[in-house]
């Protein structure tokens, strides 16, 4: 019995060290996110207005795509910006309306649809040398004023890949508010914090701009992954290309409003994380020690981090169990980790989100943690479908972005 207790004791301390490293990683970049850094020096003058190709992959989203494509077509830009909807499963009447609005339509039909394959097909159909920059938007996204102008400035400064600040356009329910907070914490840690210390911003799946020819290269052989943005992240890191983050340039995105959709979306995210953890773990060390590529190694480290909501749940469980078991780290250790993680999340949250709605959202947090646990056991579903997130037509909530 003593041997079993000793083994469990060592195992618990091993888990404790791993979870401590998780919390320290998040804390470091949460603090770094408060460093003031401009994405690039102020330019004396714009030398060229690049020609934009705006890609909107749309999978069976007939109502929402009409609103977002119209807004994209009407977006003000001093240069040329053409909008193309990649239509997968859209009705013929929707396609006609899109064309009447002024958007180009590229129809695709796959046995197993993925966003990556849809974008690659679109780029293979469009002229190879017609555009300078490709901007990827989700079907529900709305661009803020001056978005294309700001991205153009980033290209003037020499960047090849740019990530805009994706933020919520709705906060209708407690779950939507919780999802809004989660995304802003992600923005602070993985985009603003990383960029502040000289590392690349992480891509987020939309509001992403690429050198046009470079995007086609990146998408070649993308396969059927449900995490195409993470795959692009790794490929860009391998090329040692820096991703610029525009913290004050917004793309508005619809947030999850209920537990069912939340669980579906997180199932896709966890499946993608596990996919890349297995795929790139070994290469991470090769890139670090052979090529000195810390960017790539950092992406691999991120793949090994416990998703934050699961981390909250795991730490809470260990804290409670520490009252019952006489071995492993003491209760004070688990309490300290919970306090450290909580402080990290609160300092990562923008001041504008501190309101009574935050308290309502926090009440839903245990349910969200449960949904994450359910998502863990559903990841095999991604083999049959890429689990698209359903959307509704939403207007931007001004109070969120003031």
**What is each CA distance from 261 to 30, 97, 175, 347, in whole angstroms?**
28, 28, 10, 27
Residue 392 has what pLDDT? 62
pTM for this model (two decimals): 0.91
Please determine, for residue 176, whether its predicted confidence score (pLDDT) is greater than 70: yes
* CB-neighbour burial class of residue 402 (10 A; exposed 0-12, middle 13-18, buried 19+): exposed
Report the residue count for the chain: 402
pLDDT tens digits, 84-129? 999 998 999 999 999 999 999 999 988 788 899 999 999 999 999 9
pLDDT at residue 402 tops 50: no
DSSP run (H or E) holding 11:
helix 2-32
What's the confidence (pLDDT) of residue 81? 98
Overall average pLDDT of the 140-164 stretch: 96
Token reading at 241: 């290309």
Protein fold of 52-256: Spore Coat Polysaccharide Biosynthesis Protein SpsA; Chain A (3.90.550)
Ordered strands of the 208-211 beta sheet: 104-108, 81-88, 52-59, 133-136, 208-211, 161-168, 243-253, 142-143
In the chain, % of residues over pLDDT 90:
70
Q: Is the pLDDT of residue 380 over 90?
A: no
Q: Where are the domains of the chain?
A: 2-35+264-385, 52-256
Percent of the chain predicted with pLDDT > 70: 94
H-type alpha helices, 126-227: 147-156, 174-186, 194-196, 212-219
CA distance 234 to 116: 14
**Average pLDDT value over all residues in the chain:** 91
What is the tens place of the pLDDT at every residue in 284-333?
999 999 999 999 999 999 999 999 989 999 999 999 999 998 889 999 99
User: What average pLDDT does this structure show over 243-260?
Assistant: 90
Q: 345-373: per-residue pLDDT in tens?
A: 999 999 999 999 999 889 888 888 888 88
pLDDT at 278: 94
Per-residue pLDDT of 187-217, as tens digits, reads 999 999 999 999 999 999 999 999 999 999 9
Tell me the three state secondary structure of residue 244: strand
Q: How far apart are CA 127 and CA 309, in angstroms?
A: 43
């Amino acid at each position: 019995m003593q041997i079993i207790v000793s083994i469990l004791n060592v195992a618990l301390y091993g888990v404790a060290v791993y979870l401590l490293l998780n919390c320290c990683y998040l804390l470091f970049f949460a603090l770094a996110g408060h460093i003031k850094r401009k994405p690039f020096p102020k330019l004396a003058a714009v030398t060229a207005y690049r020609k934009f190709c705006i890609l909107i992959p749309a999978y069976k989203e007939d109502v929402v795509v009409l609103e977002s494509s119209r807004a994209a077509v009407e977006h003000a830009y001093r240069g040329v910006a053409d909008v193309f909807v990649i239509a997968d499963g859209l009705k013929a009447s929707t396609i006609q309306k899109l064309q009447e609005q002024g958007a180009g339509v590229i129809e695709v039909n796959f046995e197993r649809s993925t966003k990556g394959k849809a974008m690659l097909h679109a780029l293979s159909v469009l002229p190879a040398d017609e555009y300078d920059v490709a901007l990827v938007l989700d079907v529900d996204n709305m661009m803020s004023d001056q978005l294309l102008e700001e991205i153009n400035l980033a290209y003037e400064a020499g960047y090849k890949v740019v990530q805009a600040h994706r933020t919520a356009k709705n906060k209708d329910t407690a779950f939507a508010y919780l999802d809004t907070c989660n995304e802003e914490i992600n923005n602070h840690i993985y985009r603003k914090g990383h960029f502040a210390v000289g590392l690349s911003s992480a891509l987020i799946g939309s509001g992403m701009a690429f050198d046009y020819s470079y995007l086609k290269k990146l998408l070649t052989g993308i396969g059927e992954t449900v995490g195409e943005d993470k795959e692009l992240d790794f490929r860009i890191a391998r090329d040692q290309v820096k991703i610029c983050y525009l913290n004050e340039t917004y793309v508005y995105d619809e947030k999850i409003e209920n537990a069912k959709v939340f669980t579906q979306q997180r199932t896709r995210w966890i499946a993608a994380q596990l996919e890349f953890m297995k795929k790139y773990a070994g290469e991470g060390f090769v890139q670090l020690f052979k090529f000195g590529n810390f960017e790539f190694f950092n992406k691999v480290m991120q793949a090994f981090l416990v998703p934050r909501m699961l981390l909250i749940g795991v730490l809470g469980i260990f804290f409670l169990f520490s009252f019952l078991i006489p071995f492993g780290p003491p209760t004070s250790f688990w309490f300290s980790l919970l306090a450290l993680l909580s402080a990290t999340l609160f300092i990562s949250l923008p001041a504008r989100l501190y309101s009574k709605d935050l308290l309502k959202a926090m009440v839903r947090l245990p349910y969200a943690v449960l949904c994450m646990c359910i998502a863990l056991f559903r990841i095999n579903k991604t083999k049959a479908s890429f689990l698209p997130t359903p959307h509704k037509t939403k207007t931007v909530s001004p109070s969120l972005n003031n």
